[in-house]
Amino acid sequence: MQGGLKVYSGAPAAARCYVEADRGRADDYYLTEGTGLARRFTATDGRVTELAPLTGEAYETWVAGHDPATGEPRGRLRTDAHAVRFVEVVVNGPKTWSLAAALHPDIAAAYEAAQDRAAEQIIAWLSEHATTRVGPAGGQVQVPVQVLEAATVRHFTSRANDPHWHLHLQFLSRVYGLFVPAVGVRDSRV
User: For 11-28, how does the pLDDT look when each residue is reduced to its tens digit (9 = 90+)?
Assistant: 888 888 777 765 544 444
CB atoms within 10 A of CB 122: 19
pLDDT surpassing 90 at residue 83: no
CB atoms within 10 A of CB 86: 23
CA 8 from centre of chain:
11
Span 17-45, average pLDDT:
64
Confidence of residue 182 (pLDDT cuts 50, 70, 90): very low
- Closest by CA to 132, choosing from 91, 73, 103, 174, is 174
Alpha-carbon gap, residue 131 to 119, rounded angstroms: 19
Q: Mind listing the pLDDT tens digit for each residue in 102-137?
A: 999 999 999 999 999 999 999 999 999 998 888 888
Q: Where are the domains of the chain?
A: 6-189
Residue 120 CB partners (closer than 8 Å, separation 6+): 41, 48
Say if pTM beats, i.e. exceeds, 0.85. no
